[in-house]
Amino acid sequence: MTISTQLPPRLAARMERGTAFLGCDVAILCGAMSWVSERHLVSAISNAGGFGVIACGAMTPELLDTEIAATREMTARPFGVNLITMHPQLFDLIDVCGRHGVGHVVLAGGLPPKGSLEAIKATGARVICFAPALSLAKKLVRSGVDALVIEGMEAGGHIGPVSTSVLAQEILPEIADQLPVFVAGGIGRGEAIAGYLDMGAAGVQLGTRFVCATESIAHPAFKRAFIRASARDAVASVQVDPRLPVIPVRALKNAGTELFTAKQREVAATLDGGSIEMAEAQLQIEHYWAGALRRAVIDGDVDHGSLMAGQSVGMVTREEPVADILATLIAEAAQALEARAA
């Protein structure tokens, strides 16, 4: 039995636009978490009725090619690929997605570079972009994107300065009637999903909630850190040098938090010396995060690696299968919608 057959009518109606756009049973995307959102978790989420998204991150085109092919071996259901706009081989990665017939490409990390939207659409894929402000949402709509994700600062990983609830109030009334909008950041229970659906969202995106899924390859120590943590343990990184604009990252506090501060100072000093340009400096920061996250997720170094987590981490209380996580979220959302209707 698939999740779609279990969706109560009111919830099914609220999610209809999102599920039609994604081609899945329930309009819940998995956030693209480097090293975590790979073939095992992505296929498990898609097989359970949600929408898995491969986190390309710093992958080479060859690695992405392998990852997409491996995911296809594990699921016949739709899934997407998240690409970072500042990746130096972005257009090669788009070509890889096109060769595999990937139906949805998510662009993250800034405004799409010139020609990237056209290149993705030429493959037949739909483009999803992140909109951290209403003005940017309107600009992206004009540029021809097919859907938006509005993600608040409660999220894990790279974050903006505005909360999810404020972004939803600003953007949904203005944009939701034009294209599907998915809400993300700090969502850990179905009641919150119901609230954003009622406001006009087509669906939601969750990352932190899926880290401790049984199918997630995250190291047991990484999962234990999540299960032990509370919302206030997930803190945003601090920018050391205003000349080096670093997008803040939300992660659990540990020694790695101090290591990132030291890394910023090191890169800023190199920038001062004139040996690298700003774009290269920012790329070095991105590569640092990729390495620090790998140490934590794959190697289990929860002291010195990066424990990227959203503030919803306090609602992650145990390891459980993806299907159970989705079933719980659906039951909570459906109950909330029915209670409001009554």
Do the beta carbons of residue 69 and residue 46 sit within 8 Å?
A: no
Dihedral, CA of residue 317, residue 318, residue 321 and residue 324, to nearest 10: -40
Backbone angles phi, psi at 49, to 5 degrees: 110, -10
Return the residue matching tokens 């009554």: 342
pLDDT tens digits in sequence order for the chain, 342 residues long:
355 447 899 999 999 999 999 999 999 999 999 999 999 999 999 999 999 999 999 899 999 999 999 999 999 999 999 999 989 999 999 999 999 999 999 999 889 999 999 999 999 999 999 999 999 999 999 999 999 999 999 999 989 999 999 999 999 999 999 999 999 999 999 999 999 999 999 999 999 999 999 999 999 999 999 999 999 999 998 877 776 666 788 999 999 888 888 888 888 888 888 888 877 887 788 778 778 999 999 999 999 999 999 999 999 999 999 999 999 999 999 999 999 988
**Environment class of residue 148 by beta-carbon count within 10 Å: exposed (0-12), middle (13-18) or buried (19+)?**
buried
The length of the chain in residues reads 342
pTM greater than 0.75 (yes/no): yes
